[in-house]
Structure formats: structure tokens, C-alpha cells
Chain A
Amino acid sequence: MQHYNNYSGLEASVLGFCELCRSHELSIGLNHSEEALMAAQSGFINDSKSFKIALRSIFCSCEEEHSIFDRCFDIYWRKKRHEYMPKTRTRKQTKIIKQTKESVVLVGSGDEEETKKDGARTVSGANKMESLRKTDFSKVQDIDHLLMDELAEKLLLQLNHRLKRRLRASKDGKIDFRKTIRRNLSQGDNFFELLKKNRKFEKYRMIILLDVSGSMDKYSFYLLKFIWTLKSNFKNIEAFVFSTKLLRITEFIEKVQIDQAMLQMNTNSDHWSSGTVIGKCLQEFNDQYSKMVLNGRSITVILSDGLDTGEPELLSEELKKIKLRTSKVIWLNPLKGMEGYEPLAKGMKAALPEIHTFESAHNLESLMELEKYLSHV
């Protein structure tokens, strides 16, 4: 039973409480236990309310943890022991994991039967990885999914490292007075050698708008993964998904793992795999967010197949507005990877004049190639 009566002495009961909180997933280090003890010894323990507030400020690191803490505290330090210990640990956790996997498979593979009908290229042997790099996301067979995930992670990580290196290597810069003075001290005031400091790489903000409508189903999972990879390079990333409505997903990127996020997004929005009204969504973006997220040092990336059921005029008008506010507009279209593709869909056609770069994003290799646009901004 977790109750202070079970421990003898102040020290043991405080430590017992730390143990209880730890088992309820509050992150409590040794220093916290020590501080809790100090708080108790310095008189806070004489008043239960003060003691609770004091320990809460030591143990919690955000507001959300308060409720867990309060429950632990009330159980552990309650005056009388009662028989029925409330169960504080819920089963919710395991459920989430299960659901997550399902939803990943759901989005990752799109419609299973359709994939089979499409007749994906069978690849085998040593060069499987090599060919998977070039396989269109929509044609990945079910059995290859795990392999593909692994490969995607590896390649995207590489991309990330390379991007980082490239952005750092810059030759011009201001004179570094500190280093210059040190180096030239022996020459008096004649500075033979001017030492420069590299410019700190200026953080670009990246705004990503991902189309998650039905027609993009087979791509959206990998593209979402791509967004997650970019987040570690572009700290300032703003991401949105859209189909008939716009949904801001930045908070998911910042806080949670991709699997968890997929689940949350699925429950948060009912527009996964629905129709597409790009113009309207961009209008929503311009109205609500563009002033906040776009600036002269931002790149806007739109990931969409351009198959639009809305008005092309609206699309082109809204794109124009975005173009004015951002330094680069990149449109990535998975369909462009298909042989003989031409941007004939009226939405795509209307968009073309307003974008700077039009590229494909249908397999891992094409995603890797984006490096050149992302590193020279």
C-alpha cells in the first residue's frame, strides 16, 4: 500500500512518496527527492496544503502534470487509510499504441487491395534497397512496407545531416575582433591577419502545406514522415494539412512522435482522405495564419497532386498572396514522377505561374533531391 503510514520517519516517507510519483511517470531525479526532503524539514510539512504546493512546484515541470501529482499526493498523504485504493494507472496507454499501429498501416498502405491490383514491381535480391529508393510510394507492396520505413528513416536522416553541414559552411563573415586581436598581439597595431567569424546560419522558417485528400492517400504517410525529418533541421517549422479544410499540425510535430501524431490527427480531423478544395484552404491559410508564419526568410512548400475540385482562379489568387509574403514557393507533386505527366489538371495549371519550383515527390530519391532547394535558400 502506498501510504506514508507504512514508512517510519520523515525521510523514509518523503522518499516513499517520490517513489510513488515516479511510478506514475512524473520525472523525478535524485535532486528532486533531496529538495523535497529539504522542503519538508524546513517546516513545510507542518501544513498539508503548503506542503502540497511546495512539492508540486518541485515535482511538476508543466501544468499538465499537476493532476497526476495531486492524485498521488492525495492518496499518499491522506489522513486515514481506506480500503479501496483508487486505481491511478489507467489502461489508456496500451490502447493508444494499438490504435496507432492500425492507423499507420491504414494511411501508410492506402487501400490494400488496390495496391495489389496496381501490380507493383517485384523487387528482390541484393539490390532491393536500391530499387526501393526508386519505387513510387504508391506501388510499395505490403511486405516491403517495413523495409521501406527503415530505408526512409535512414535516407532522410542522411539528408538531414547533409543539410546541416551545408548550411554551416560559409566563408564570408564579419571580422572577429576577439580572435584578430589575440592573433596579432605581437605585431602591435598592425593587423596582418584578419580573422573572420562565420556568419551564424540564419534560421529559415519553413511552412509546409500537405494535401491529405483521398487522391494523395498513398503518399501522405511518407510525406508526413518527410516533414518530421525536416523538423530537426528547420527548427522553425510550421506544418498544415488540408483537403476540404485546413488543420494546423505544428504542435504535433513539436511534441509527439509521428505514430502518436497520426492517431491524434485522425481523431482531430474528419477530412483525411476526402475531397480537395485547395483554393479555399489556401484562403483559410492566408486569412488566419499567413501574417503570423510567413516572412521574408521563409520557404513555403506545398505537397499536393493539384487535383482540385474548387475554382482555379481562387487558387491562383491565394497563391499570389503567399508568393508576396514568402521568399520561395515550392510545389511538390507526386504525380510528376509518372512518365508522361503534364500539369494539365486545371488546379495545377492555374498554380504554375505563381510558384518558383515545381518538383516531384513520388519516391525516396526524389525527396532526397530536394536537398538542393532546401540548402540554397
Chain B
Amino acid sequence: MTALTIDGVTVSFDGTAAVDDVSLGLEPGEVLGILGPSGSGKSTLLRSIAGLERLDAGRIAWHGDDITAVPVHRRGFALMFQDGQLFPHRTVAQNIAYPLRIARTPSHARVAELLALVGLAGFGDRRVTELSGGEQQRVALARSLAAEPRLLLLDEPLSSLDRELRERLAGDLRRILDETGTTAVFVTHDQDEAFAVSDRVAVMIGGRVRQTGTPAEVWRRPASAEIARFLGYTTVLGGDAARLVRPRSDGAIALRAAALVVTHGGPVAATVVRSTPSVDGWRVRLAVPGIGELDGIAGAQHPVSAGEAVTVRFDDAGIAELS
């Protein structure tokens, strides 16, 4: 049975719909990633699920029971904010124990267990103001899990962290969600993060859900040019141009830079327009006859410069067919 049902939810601010007639479902134990650019209404949707926003229309149900009118604190959900929102006047342990005390089940053992789960064993007596950003987010996660929420809501939990930490914590987050069997909704603007953590993603643009599916489905078959561009595809081709890249395709295709690789003796001729060094070699802009200018890559062993005539091959890893 569907755990969470979001049915035709609309939330407006001063007459403008931030969330516009959104319907989604979530299975027990599933982790749903809501992926969208900033201002797409994804955080507002998350806050609506938590009960922090008044709905202008629609309903939210948990295992079939309408919870639209249930106040925030009775929903049994937990929401973790981008910047943690730890209570500065409490220690790490007191922060984590907060939901336990509300439930009248205070337990030092449970706090220690949660600290160990997020990799902060022994941090209990620290002041939260002494912690680094990554540590604060771990504490916030532990605090949310302490509530044993029926549903965990995560609002860009990793966005305020630097890249290396973000990638490591994304892995930890997925592991912790698996270990605890938590049903979760996770909001982010970062595709890598969404794909690393979620079972299924919903792409939200302009207040509406434009596509849902597994990360692989969405990645391989974006539903529109707009979604493809948001996912990092730089070019969308249709008609004859598309068939030049992929003869079998009958619709539009989207290309990332990785789709076009400069190779000796490749099947297609091209001229280098611009070339910039990158960590893996070169990022190039290529003029391809019959298609136009496309982004591509060249290996470190292939130094190329503007004006040079080269040959290229197409790599399926960088190509998606629009569904």
C-alpha cells in the first residue's frame, strides 16, 4: 500500500503558485528525491508534507488516512533543514535527546547509538556551536532519526557542505536510510546527490512535477528538453541532426560533452572552435558539418587547439533520448 499520497497539492504565496497541483506517491521504505532548480517549489512541497505550509488545494494522506488537517507535531514526521537548525542552547546529546524527551523515552544508550550511527561517537557533550558544518548536519540527522519518524523529510541536507564532504555524506546518508529502513523524501538541486541517495526521483520545475522515475530512467530518457538541460545535457537535437548522431533514433536526443570524443580515425569530421584544459584532458567546442556547434571532450593525450581539423566518435554514455 502507498505510504504517502500527495494529491493535487497547491500552495500559493501572494497569489503566485509555488507548488502547482502536484500529485505524488511514495511506497514504504522508499527514498524519493525531489530534484529541481532553485525556486522550483521543491522546498515548499516538502514543507507542505511536514505540515508547515497551508495548502490552497489538495490533500496529503498517510496510508490512506487524510492528514491534511493534522498539525505539524502530530504527524510523526521529521524534517531536517539545509543548515540543521540545531538548538544552540543545548549540547549535541541534548539536541539528539530532544525528540526522545518529547516522547517521554529519554535514553542515554539510544543517544550514544545514534551518535555512533552518524559517525560522531563521543561527541555528546560538545556544544553544537563548536561543530563544523558537516558535523552539525550529522547531528541534525541523528536528531531527526531519534524521533523514529514514519517519514523523514530532508531539505537540501548536504548543499551547505563542500564537495568532497558532500559526496562522502551522500553515501553515508544512503547507508543510514537503508540500515534504519526509513521512508524518506529528499529535496536537492544537485543531480549527483539525488541519484546517489534516491530510489526514485521526481523532477520539479516551475512548481510542477515534470517527470518521475528511477534515477537511471530519468537520466537516460528525460521527458523534455527543459529537463534534459537541467540534468546537465548541453545540447538537444532533433530531426536530421539527431539522426546524424544516432541513425536509429526517431525523436529528439540530448547530448552532454561526454557524447563527443575526439579520436584519431573517428567516423565524423569536425573543426575545433575552442579548447579549454580540464582535469581529464580538454573540454572542446566543435563545429560538426550538418549539425552545428557541439560540446565535446578530448583525452589528455590529444592536445587540440582552435582551428584544428579533427575526427570524432559519438559515445552513447553521453547521449539520452527524450521520451
> Are A and B genuine complex partners?
no
